[in-house]
């Protein structure tokens, strides 16, 4: 048992140290299942989600009804682990999630992330047509330092696995949650993206553009 526990832990530790963060034998845009699911045990994760009551807001399979609680289904495991670490350390703040993440161990985070990342991926009910949003998503606006969302979050918002970690899935996410996060990045209420990249992008966006992007992306 000790041996298995160690073996189970080791890849997680390496992942945290960034040792396994470089995809081996696959392109950055197409992560292998192992990279998406990470080092955790999905079945243990399912049990932990239930015993911790995460499903009350996020749904057992990672799609909950509360529009401010993000869908977690099909999200990258290492992104989920990072967010749970950030809530625990205070790098990302939210009254409910800070409390929910407080008692989770490294194993808990890896297992829960494995469970949600292996669920049927989130999706929207068709992109809401918006020229403003589509343009920003695909082309960005270089005069205002807005990089195209597509370059990191992928053509259809499915995100991508990168050497530095993962660019999260945003396509098909709840509209209310997306809008809230873009506002939070802009107001620096959320500051946990590497190099402050999401803060500098969101600061250039108007209210109207945030509204349009959130609707457009949630439909993907
Ligand atoms: C009472 C409702 C509630 C419960 C219970 C809850 N969450 Fe959350 N969760 C939220 C909300 C709301 C957010 C969005 C926080 C924000 O706006 O920054 C969130 C955010 C998250 C995120 C960040 C996702 C992203 O896309 O960035 C993760 C991961 C997460 N929760 C996991 C969990 C886990 C694991 C549990 C159980 C241990 C849990 N949550 C329990 C409401 C809840
Ligand atoms: C240079 C890469 C890059 C570009 C370009 C980019 N993002 Fe991001 N984005 C990220 C990273 C990295 C994160 C996750 C940060 C973290 O660890 O919390 C993120 C997070 C987000 C989140 C929060 C997701 C969640 O589940 O909480 C939203 C929403 C988002 N981005 C929207 C956008 C939009 C809209 C655009 C285009 C206007 C955009 N991003 C452009 C890298 C990028």
Q: Is residue 23 part of a domain?
A: no
For residue 9, the CA-to-ligand 2 centroid distance in Å is 29
201 CB neighbour count, 10 Å cutoff? 22
Determine the atom of ligand 2 nearest the C-alpha atom of 75.
26
* Contact of 171 with 153, CB cutoff 8 Å: yes
CA 45 to chain centre: 17
Q: Is residue 170 part of a domain?
A: yes
For residue 116, the CA-to-ligand 2 centroid distance in Å is 19
**104 in the same domain as 157:** no
Q: State which residues form the domain around 47.
A: 32-117
Region 7-36 average pLDDT: 45
Structurally, how many domains does the chain consist of?
2
**43 in the same domain as 109:** yes
Distances, alpha carbon 76 to alpha carbons 121, 183, 203, in Å: 10, 23, 26
For 118, how many CA atoms within 13 A lie in the half-sphere containing its CB?
Answer: 20
Tell which wins on pLDDT, 194 or 6: 194
Claim: this prediction has a pTM higher than 0.95: no
Q: Is residue 7 part of a domain?
A: no
For residue 113, the CA-to-ligand 2 centroid distance in Å is 19
Q: Which helix (H) or strand (E) holds 166?
A: strand 165-167
Q: Is residue 40 part of a domain?
A: yes
Residue 55 has pLDDT above 90, yes or no: yes
CA 196 to chain centre: 16
Distances, alpha carbon 218 to alpha carbons 117, 122, 214, in Å: 18, 10, 6
Q: Is residue 10 part of a domain?
A: no
Q: Which class for 5: exposed (0-12), middle (13-18), buried (19 or more C-beta within 10 A)?
A: exposed
Verify whether ligand 1 is closer than 6 Å to residue 52 (CB atom). Answer: yes
Domain boundary among 85, 117, 149: 117
**Which range (25-39, 47-61, 105-119) has the least confidence?**
25-39
Residue 144 has pLDDT above 60, yes or no: yes
- Probe residue for ligand 1, chosen from 38, 45, 52, 58 as the CB with the greatest number of ligand atoms within 8 Å: 58
Verify whether ligand 2 is closer than 6 Å to residue 169 (CB atom). Answer: no
User: Shortest CA distance to 86 belongs to which of 74, 76, 100?
Assistant: 100
Verify whether ligand 2 is closer than 6 Å to residue 82 (CB atom). Answer: yes
Residue 14 has pLDDT above 70, yes or no: no
Domain boundary among 92, 117, 142: 117
**154 in the same domain as 98:** no
**174 in the same domain as 105:** no
pLDDT, averaged across the chain:
86
Residue nearest to atom 12 of ligand 2 (CA): 167
Q: Would you put residue 148 in left (φ > 0), alpha (ψ -120 to 50) or beta? A: beta
Domain boundary among 91, 117, 143: 117
* Contact of 71 with 64, CB cutoff 8 Å: yes
**48 in the same domain as 100:** yes
Give the pLDDT confidence score for residue 29 in this predicted structure. Answer: 53
Rounded CA separation 106/132 (Å): 41
**94 in the same domain as 143:** no
**104 in the same domain as 177:** no
Q: From the CA of 47, which ligand is nearest?
A: 1
């Amino acid at each position: 048992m000790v041996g298995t526990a160690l073996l189970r832990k080791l890849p997680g530790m390496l992942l945290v140290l960034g040792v396994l963060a470089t995809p081996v034998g696959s392109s950055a845009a197409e992560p292998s299942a192992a990279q998406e699911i990470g080092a955790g045990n999905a079945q243990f994760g399912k049990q932990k989600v239930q015993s911790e009551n995460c499903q009350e807001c996020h749904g057992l399979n990672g799609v909950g009804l509360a529009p401010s609680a993000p869908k977690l289904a099909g999200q990258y495991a290492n992104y989920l682990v990072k967010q749970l670490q950030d809530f625990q350390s205070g790098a990302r703040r939210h009254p409910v999630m800070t409390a929910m993440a407080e008692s989770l161990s490294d194993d808990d985070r890896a297992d829960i992330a494995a469970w949600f990342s292996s669920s049927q991926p989130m999706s929207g009910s068709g992109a809401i047509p918006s020229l403003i949003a589509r343009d920003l998503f695909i082309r960005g606006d270089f005069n205002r330092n807005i990089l195209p969302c597509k370059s990191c979050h992928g053509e259809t918002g499915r995100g991508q696995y990168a050497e530095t970690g993962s660019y999260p899935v945003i396509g098909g996410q709840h509209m209310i949650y997306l809008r809230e996060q873009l506002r939070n990045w802009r107001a620096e209420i959320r500051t946990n993206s590497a190099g402050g990249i999401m803060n500098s992008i969101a600061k250039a966006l108007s209210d109207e553009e945030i509204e349009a992007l959130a609707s457009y992306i949630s439909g993907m």
